[in-house]
Amino acid sequence: MTIRYIESSRLPTPWGTFDMHGFEDPDNNKEHLVLTMGDVRGEEPVLARIHSECLTGDALFSLRCDCGAQLQAAMHKIAQQGRGAIFYLRQEGRGIGLLNKIRAYKLQDCGADTVEANEALGFGADMRDYSILKPMLNHLEIEQIRLMTNNPRKVKAFQDLGIPVVERISHQTGRNPHNVKYLETKKGKLGHLFSDQQDDD
């Protein structure tokens, strides 16, 4: 079965008021969100961010990763332009779930990098499935996007879904002394496209 649209409401935030759209995946009862601003329908490419859930970074201010800063920066950029979409996908821990992410963090506390930790637990480095995006994009009538990401896998995922990515926009923010190794591993092992400079340097 495919993802089902449930309902929409307003979501006021420090950066402006978004429209919040809720979707349900009946196969696993996961509840996904899309925040939009402005009219995202049609041919005009939409400034977009695919954000995978990171409870620790998004809600608990963790400095182990860059997720919270990236989410805030994406909301800010979209509000500045007045038009865009954030797909908030419930793929915690790159798809392994919160408790397994804690297991992976424990291994990282003992010296493993983020990829080695996933593999030691019997998972792939990145278990995310982006095909769930297609019904959400269809529902919102988004046809083309300008994607805020450093992750080439996300660009490829859209291309595989038949949604043109007309531009990849660097989304480097949130580097701090606690996540230097994590970001280095993203670049070295996961193929992220990082320059030496953060967007907000």
Ligand X SMILES: Nc1nc2c(ncn2[C@@H]2O[C@H](COP(=O)(O)OP(=O)(O)OP(=O)(O)O)[C@@H](O)[C@H]2O)c(=O)[nH]1
Among the options 64, 126, 168, 175, which is catalytic? 126
Among the listed residues 171, 172, 182, 150, the one whose alpha carbon sits nearest the alpha carbon of residue 65: 182
Q: Name which of 10 and 131 has its Cβ closer to ligand X.
A: 131
Single-letter amino acid, residue 85: A
Chain positions contacting Zn ion, by CB under 5 A: 54, 57, 65, 67
Sites for ligand X among residues 121-160 (CB under 6 A): 149-151, 154
How many angstroms separate the CA atoms of 164 and 146, rounded? 9
Which of 79, 114, 145, 163 contacts ligand X by CB under 6 A?
114
Residue (of 135, 130, 108, 133) closest to 119 by Cα position: 108
CB of 36 or CB of 149, closer to ligand X: 149
Using CB under 6 A, count the residues that bind ligand X.
23
Q: 166-197 burial, b for 16+ CB within 10 Å, e for fewer?
A: eebbebbbbbeeebeebbebbeeebebeeeee
Q: Residue 51, annotated ligand binder?
A: yes
Joined tokens for residue 111: 């010296």
Least gap, CB of 70 to Zn ion (angstroms): 8
Q: Which of residues 82-111 bind ligand X (CB under 6 A)?
A: 91-94, 96, 101, 104
Asked if 192 is part of the footprint of ligand X (rule: CB under 6 A), the reply reads yes
Task: Name the minimum Å distance from CB 93 to ligand X.
Answer: 4
Distance (Å, whole) CA 200 – CA 88: 23
Q: Are 16 and 57 in contact (CB under 8 A)?
A: no
Using CB under 6 A as the binding rule, whether residue 38 contacts ligand X is answered as no
Amino acid identity for residue 77 in this structure: K
Task: Determine, following the binding rule CB under 6 A, whether residue 52 of this chain makes contact with ligand X.
Answer: yes
Residue 130 phi/psi, 5-degree rounding, is: -95, 0
* Known active-site residue 129: no
- Tell me, yes or no, if 66 is annotated catalytic: no
- Using DSSP's 3-state secondary structure scheme, residue 95 falls into helix
Q: Is 21 annotated as a binding residue?
A: no
For the annotated binding site, the residues are 49-54, 65, 67, 70, 92-94, 114, 149, 154
Please report, as ranges, the residues that interact with ligand X according to CB under 6 A. 51-54, 65, 67, 70, 91-94, 96, 101, 104, 114, 118, 149-151, 154, 171, 186, 192
Residues catalogued as catalytic: 126, 128
